[in-house]
Structure 1
């Protein structure tokens, strides 16, 4: 199994760059307020909607920024490929995994999610600061990892040919179209299977991969080509990370997800 999550106790390197991704979908300003109130010393803040999404785009609720915008984001924060990028949020949330996927997409070779949420990190004695961290700008030649990104058209091919598996990370009720609180159309992408991302966590942190493996393997096998999606490409990110932790070799994320799919193609309500 790969090591996606590590405890802060396991971080011995001197080249750690802390990334704070705390956020609230109900209050988009809450994360930055929390950061300003106190964060791990040296951490920069990456906002789900200002940094990890391009909210001016229309392909889904949290669209992926263009590569030039991402490059500028990393360079303006002084990030280097030699850094060990270590990401946290409140704990058991999808925001750090979303950033994790994006750093992997940008080809950063050392990216880790910490098992602990911010409050737990503070209790462990990590140094806290209220100063906004800033670093000299870097210059990056990014090696984009296109193999972990799926587009709407690629997803359509999987849906129509069953050449691969679509995995819906939303609740069973949303997947089945019984309850749809956000999107204008209820259901799921045709042929998709369902694995609720909430099953991956308990008590404010993500479970160990070995503890969810039986539930995961009941839905998808290790040798399948898997594309994960959710409503807007955020809560599918923990599922992506957990599959990688569990040693699944071929996993992609459809960032546009269901909110992008319904703008162009029909949905299904039949349970697979």
Structure 2
């Protein structure tokens, strides 16, 4: 079963019981842009969750945990309950950032053991509008009486210390999901140091989509990761644990089962000056 749905699928199910729509639009250079866009127009019935508030925890001293630390499971569960998401609810998430923010929510739900289906809206809000579907500026009411019971799947995560110990280890592949210039250390607009984790290979997350913006098939995703063994432990990171999540799902779609997210990612790694940094291209897998 694919993890994305087209706007026609959602249009036919607006208002359906057991389905919650979540708007996750967010601009890294303007933290209020998403909520402004939501207030102006959104899919009818959609709730808004903000990356830096609802889908992340508070920033920690010294940059530990990165720019978007994971939220505490109990705090995330409270947020989910008030927008009507229980453990078996079907969720469809959208953004206008190519699916990166929507994927963050989908990964968080996987992390806390969600039982229901979680989909991304293919093409995001722009595709919804382009198809001529209705929009709304009304904010739906907070839902009462739903308590989300998280069952945390910590095997989906890996810590900075564990990543450090895995560098160069046989049977482990580290994937950097950022654009190539950031991976190579040619530019670094956000974090303390430029470069990448030594030994990491580069697979830019947005290459998981076709030229028209649709997500690639499992077979096409497998081609992106050709040369990697299904027996390998795959560690995926990006700048702050957000755009790595589409790569996590691409790998899972391609049949890789031992895939872990380094949630703090480069922003966490580069906050510690003792951590080694590599620049340039690593040998391709």
TM-score (normalizing by structure 1): 0.90
Give the Cα separation in 1 of the matches to 2:164 and 2:114. 29
Q: Which residue of 2 aligns with 1:107?
A: 113
Q: Which residue of 1 aligns with 2:28?
A: 25
Answer yes or no: is 1:41 the counterpart of 2:44: yes
Answer yes or no: is 1:266 the counterpart of 2:276: yes
Q: How many residues align?
A: 270
Give the Cα separation in 2 of the matches to 1:150 and 1:47. 24
SS in 2 for 1:52: coil
Answer yes or no: is 1:177 the counterpart of 2:177: no
Q: Which segments of 5 or more consecutive residues in structure 2 lack a partner in the other structure?
A: none
Q: CA-to-partner distance for each residue in 1:72-102, whole Å, 9 max, x for gaps?
A: 2112223111210111111524111111111
Shift of 1:53: 1.3
Aligned-residue CA RMSD in angstroms?
Answer: 2.1
The 5 A counterparts of 1:1-272 are: 2-10=1-9, 14=16, 15-57=18-60, 58=63, 59-90=65-96, 92-109=98-115, 110-134=117-141, 135-201=143-209, 202-218=211-227, 220-264=228-272, 265-269=275-279, 271-272=282-283
Shift of 1:260: 0.4
Q: CA-to-partner distance for each residue in 1:164-222, whole Å, 9 max, x for gaps?
A: 2111001222222222222221221122111111212334443334334312224x333
Q: Which segments of 5 or more consecutive residues in structure 1 lack a partner in the other structure?
A: none
Give the Cα separation in 1 of the matches to 2:2 and 2:258. 16
Give the Cα separation in 2 of the matches to 1:69 and 1:63. 13
Q: CA-to-partner distance for each residue in 1:101-134, whole Å, 9 max, x for gaps?
A: 1111111122111213112123435442211112
Give the Cα separation in 2 of the matches to 1:10 and 1:147. 33
Answer whether contact 1:61 1:260 (CA < 8 A) is retained.
yes
